[in-house]
Amino acid sequence: MFVLACSSSEQEPVGEQSTDNDAATQTQTAQRSERIALATQKAAPPPTRVVQAESPFDGNVPSDWPAYGGDRGGSGFSPIAQITRENVSQLEEAWVYQTGEGTDFGWFKFENTPIFNAGLLYLSTPQNAVIAIDPTTGGEIWRYDPEIDHNMQRTQGWLSRGVAFWQEETGDDSTACHYRVLFGTIDARLLAIDARTGLLCNDFGTDGTVRLDEGVGPVDEGMYAMTSPPAIVGDIVVTGSSVRDNYQVEDAYGTVRGFDVRTGEQLWAWDPIPRSPDIPGYETWTPEAAEKTGAANAWAPLSSDADRDLVFVPTGSASPDFYGGERTGENLYSSSVVALKASTGEVAWHFQVVHHDIFDYDVASQPSIVTVPRDGEQIDAVAVVTKMGFIYVLDRDTGEPLFPIEERPVPASDVPGEEAWPTQPFPVLPPPLLEAEIGPDDAWGITPESEAKCRDLLSPLRSEGVFTPPSFEGSIFFPWWGGGINWGGASYDPERSLLVTSIKRLPSFMKLVERESEDEGNMQGTPYISSGGILSGDEGFPCIAPPWGELVGVNLDSGEIDWRVPIGYSQPKGSPDEKFLGSSFWGGPITTAGGLAFMAGSKDGHLRAFDIDNGNELWSAKLPAGGQATPMSYEVNGKQYVVIAAGGHGSLGVEMGDYFVAFALPD
């Protein structure tokens, strides 16, 4: 059973951690620093801006996958139909690119999805190098290394999900930085890079750099980062942030900002926590909490609709995660999707998915811009998938639900000082993708002894559904705060009005204990310390029956679930001939006009293709390392490619590496 002393929006348990700041922890920290120093010597990345191939850069090449989510609206859909259900079985490896980075220091999470623009693929690495490669050969064109300090403390790991691309609409396209790659680093920098050469754009900020850790409250080294790509709306680049949370009440602010894409000038800033009485939503906080509470940050990718001048912001829970006694109230605009005017940062509308979040159920996925049929009309909407397994479909202009949503009573907290919000918004359609609650009768193990252990673990825990509050005896959290639908998000096939998403079914627990000293443990500034983690049996497998990961097709016309299938498999110790379907995973699906869904992410290290009409698996390929990322697809010279990052993930125990692998049909 994992014990996790400090959870954050992007942090997953990787082993047992003490809740005490003791000598053992100090020794571990010293040993970690020694490992980092050694690994840095052994695995230094290639030099900055190494040109290894003739560049096929061409600003006239169509962009089939121009943004992290396929398009700036995060649809996750490829309009290319060369690879189909009939020929997908013929897919073969087209090229492999290795970044050259070492993986044996720090906590690596290789979560990148490349983008395709102006004839090049642009990608980023866990150490935050930005690289341009030839999309037909995988040859490196240029590399920019921001030279992140490898000794920097990073409790949330080394990662980067991707970059963004912008180009001037007029003028001489041979001018420096006419095409730009925008990128945020884990040491809180926003960079503008010439997409043709890999050189910094010196007209942006200070020599190509804007600091993001200024003006956002208290920031500790390495604890304020940008791990997802920014959003581009016209000539404005919009940034979220990754904030270490659950550590203390007074933490860095989750401010979202808009910058001029040419100069780096800050145009506006919007704080998800209203900090003065003249700001709408202030009344949902106590005055003291509105002044000091941190986080509520948008760490997942943002989406945008340039025609409406809107950017859709998925916000997280306020600090700390699991006790809200220092921030009583509904707590707008935490754990919400918020539509901001991209030109001004003003709130156009908002929808809160969790009131007074004490579960770390932040909106962890990119909102999906979709158009759905309603009464013979096509309605522009936003689909919001959540950790709870709930899916909300909202009108894009107003935020009004397109399916009924009910405010239902939820359990009260018995922790002194806590005031759990009495109701939460439950969508009637689509139906929840997870069970309402689990208990001892749901215990499972691969042996009778393991099942008995799991029943013993589940029996004393409080279990009253998805919004069971943290407690002194321990509460079942199902889904786990890193489970449900996470940063892999969803993909939308417009022809079928089908939303395809991936969901994790992992039981966990959360327990509060009274604090004995002011500087002890996490949630500093509160009377309590939290601990929790995955509930598992002797062999390390979750305490409920598989599947532990599923791919799900949801019809946004009817609101019904069309199909659901397990993702990959896990191989239990001691039973090499038996496969238990539905692996834990990180990453998400994409869909294509060829009638396919592609998904990797599972512990078995495969990329898979599924029939989008029924979820049947049609093809799979073993990757050289774990594929804990979301794939993408593009076409060059009449040939469709599917690319996946295969570098592994520090929390899953999979093979680590530094690969990007492309698949295509044979010539």
What's the mean per-residue pLDDT of the chain? 91
Average pLDDT, integer, range 493-497 = 97
Transcribe 611-631 into DSSP letters. Answer: ETTT--EEEEEE-SS---S--
Distances (CA, A) of 648 to 102, 112, 150, 658: 12, 11, 19, 8
Residue 41 has pLDDT above 50, yes or no: no
Average pLDDT, integer, range 568-578 = 62
How many helices and strands (H and E) does the chain possess?
3, 43
Residue 24 has pLDDT above 70, yes or no: no
- The span from the CA of 413 to the CA of 409, in Å, is 13
Average pLDDT, integer, range 55-64 = 93
In this structure, are residues 364 and 300 in contact, taking their beta carbons and an 8 Å threshold? yes
In this structure, are residues 364 and 486 in contact, taking their beta carbons and an 8 Å threshold? yes
Burial (CB < 10 A; 0-12, 13-18, 19+), residue 505, is buried
Res 33: pLDDT: 40
Residue 576 has pLDDT above 70, yes or no: no
Catalytic residue among 71, 145, 251, 360: 360
- The span from the CA of 411 to the CA of 57, in Å, is 57
Q: How much of the chain exceeds pLDDT 70, in percent?
A: 90
In this structure, are residues 601 and 615 in contact, taking their beta carbons and an 8 Å threshold? no
Res 22: pLDDT: 37
Residue 37 has pLDDT above 80, yes or no: no
Using one digit for the tens of pLDDT, what is the confidence trace for 591-632?
999 999 999 999 999 999 999 999 999 999 999 999 999 999
Average pLDDT, integer, range 453-474 = 98
Res 39: pLDDT: 35
Confidence of residue 653 (pLDDT cuts 50, 70, 90): confident
Confidence of residue 25 (pLDDT cuts 50, 70, 90): very low
Residue 577 has pLDDT above 90, yes or no: no
Distance of CA 653 to the CA centre of its chain: 19
The residue count for the chain: 667
320 or 54, higher pLDDT = 320
Burial (CB < 10 A; 0-12, 13-18, 19+), residue 172, is exposed
Res 651: pLDDT: 85
Confidence of residue 53 (pLDDT cuts 50, 70, 90): low
Confidence of residue 27 (pLDDT cuts 50, 70, 90): very low
Res 52: pLDDT: 53
Average pLDDT, integer, range 571-579 = 55
Specify the range with the lowest mean pLDDT, choosing from 87-96, 167-176, 470-479, 567-576: 567-576
Amino acid 95 reads: W
Residues 6+ apart with CB under 8 A from 327: 249, 285, 286, 289, 293, 318, 356
Confidence of residue 348 (pLDDT cuts 50, 70, 90): very high
Average pLDDT, integer, range 640-666 = 95
Using one digit for the tens of pLDDT, what is the confidence trace for 102-120?
877 668 899 999 999 999 9
360 is annotated as an active-site residue:
yes
Using one digit for the tens of pLDDT, what is the confidence trace for 350-369?
999 999 999 999 999 999 99
Average pLDDT, integer, range 226-238 = 98
**Does a cis peptide bond (omega within 30 degrees of 0) precede residue 373?**
no
Confidence of residue 572 (pLDDT cuts 50, 70, 90): low
Distance of CA 282 to the CA centre of its chain: 28
Res 106: pLDDT: 65
Res 115: pLDDT: 98
Average pLDDT, integer, range 23-32 = 38
Average pLDDT, integer, range 303-316 = 98
Distances (CA, A) of 258 to 239, 427, 463, 574: 7, 32, 42, 54
Domains in the chain with CATH codes: 23-77+86-664 (2.140.10.10)
